[in-house]
A and B are shown apart, each in its own frame.
Chain A
């Protein structure tokens, strides 16, 4: 399974765009990239998933360069309620259920 590396923490202010980059140098051909968000005392929540190029939904965008060795989660105009831990995961078809959660990125949004 591909290992991921993300910054331990990030600070931002309300209204700013936040970009969290995840490195996955050993990503395999069948691997998808998935991001989750977790608030204290809650389970992780699925945010977005992608394979290549760009994916956008109502809450975030995911940018994946051609070599797929990294990905960037983009949160537009963050609010205080976006303060959470964000996890980047890589999973393949054979073991997609064996998600390996790293330490994630702790995002703090300040007023």
Chain B
């Protein structure tokens, strides 16, 4: 148990569907992150939220839309995705996204997304 819960664990969707990934952290952290991990590739940082404000968008296509209603919840809304978007999507949290460097990130176990 990492304190970061992601749902669903697996998702299969067509390119015209709209779905959302959910992340919830029970650690009292103030920063939350979305990462993408494609097969045999390093993790890619997508978005960073610090105290509910987006502080980083790593040139992510607009078909991915994040939402952070509070410091404990993070969503990733998906629409008109492409087959190359199939990947493991990981959520993470840390105490403070712009604080002291010795603040490790805590990751959920991800959502395995498959685009048909």
Q: Name A residues whose Cβ lies closer than 8 Å to a Cβ of B.
A: 30-32, 34, 36, 41-46, 49, 51, 91-94, 96-104
Residue from the list B31, B33, B56, B106 in contact with A46, Cβ < 8 A: B106
Chain A residues with CB under 8 Å of B109's CB are: 41-43
List the one stretch of B12-20, B41-49, B64-72, B74-82 in contact with chain A. Answer: B41-49
Range for the number of chain B residues in contact with chain A = 20 to 34
A-B contact count (CB 8 A): 67
Chain B residues with CB under 8 Å of A99's CB are: 45, 105
**B77 CB to nearest A CB, Å:** 21
Residue from the list A41, A45, A93, A101 in contact with B43, Cβ < 8 A: A101
Chain A residues with CB under 8 Å of B91's CB are: 43
Can you identify 10 A-B contacts, CB atoms within 8 angstroms?
Answer: A43-B110, A45-B2, A46-B106, A92-B101, A94-B98, A98-B45, A98-B48, A100-B45, A101-B44, A103-B42
| Separation of A94 and B99 alpha carbons in the complex (Å) | 8
Residue in A30, A96, A104 whose Cβ sees the most chain B Cβ within 10 Å: A96
Chain B residues 29-74 with CB under 8 Å of chain A are: 31, 33, 35, 42-45, 48, 50, 55-56
